Structure 1
């Protein structure tokens, strides 16, 4: 498991969160959890599929060159054909639900990863050189900043590679690109409608009821998306980033703890309700 020590996010506007425990008192949030850990009551993950490789624009956050602890890191501008071998680690509950370097929210049950220099997001095939198992992950975070390790994997990806118990594995990385036009730095809102996720539940009826309640409260539409055994309630879509931020602040004012943006196309009729 990764012994992560990220402290550069605010300084470099990368958006990553530091996992170094506070030296003083008054720890809160992820800082109250000193060590990373396995999740409790893990849903079955055998059905989780690889990240879908798309021609996705690079994020506005997390793609600048940066310096950490005297080491300078230059973000790769043309990752096509990139390969690398070394050790992989994984990260779990300590970072679950907190922002990654490109401003998204880390989901340890999604097929994702962290890399020091690949542009965000990138799609990478990871091969466990000890057992031959492979996964495809979407890199949306920075790290691991630990000697000899080249990628941090989500809990789900580590599960699929059968490396959870050992904590690390020898791997080979291969960048995969979609056979479409070259991706460029651009706002996500140009091609991805914005929704605000407010809650997720394993019970579909509860999720639908929550969607109706929050949509009525906020005066907006909603959808309930089934993903990896969970029903995720998402309000929207909203037309731009400013409106999305305003809706998030409004939700927080109503006591919603951690609403966050997701970028996705509106779903079909299966498990979805849009007033």
Structure 2
């Protein structure tokens, strides 16, 4: 029993040491800017099972501790269709909280996300897995997308830095706008032409009235990619050209409940931001 107790004490000391390094980056001498959150002193345990390798749509993902994670890529967001549903940590998804989904960082964890178009920054609690669309590195809650001014565009180029373990509750907070120097990051490779780009339309709740309901499934840079997805919804999917994009629409469905099932089907295939509408 004493041996077990010593192991527990030792593990706690290691966790405290790791938390003390949150916010300190190589070359900073351990200091942190005034607007960076203080080190977490009450870290939540990593949720069992969330560091195991997993497979989505034939691709393997291998979560791991990544203390130096610092990446530039595309961010998307998700909201109404997932509000209240359990996340990968078991916490209910709250689209009004400052949270996000990531494919491989420990859960729950903290990340600093910077919108490279306007310098806005926010610290987010990572409590879910995703996004599973080529070219995207993080999926934001609706509130996080608003804080970064990304919601209307639907997608944007961001820098994501891992800060370490998250506190037991909360952990999200907006930061002051980054300076131009802080927002500069190495250029990310251009996403493949087949990368799915969500349509720049605001999310909406499902129509209340019964009757024909359509699902706007997003927009693609490559028609073949859109048509491959459309093939999974025979009889209800259409693909139309809109400038340089190809927009996918499903429907009409007889009611909002059936449309909601179609939105969940798109989500299972890695498509976020699909919404129901009373018009095609």
Q: Which has the larger radius of gyration?
A: 2
When the two structures are superposed, what TM-score results if normalisation uses the length of structure 1?
A: 0.45
When the two structures are superposed, what TM-score results if normalisation uses the length of structure 2?
A: 0.44
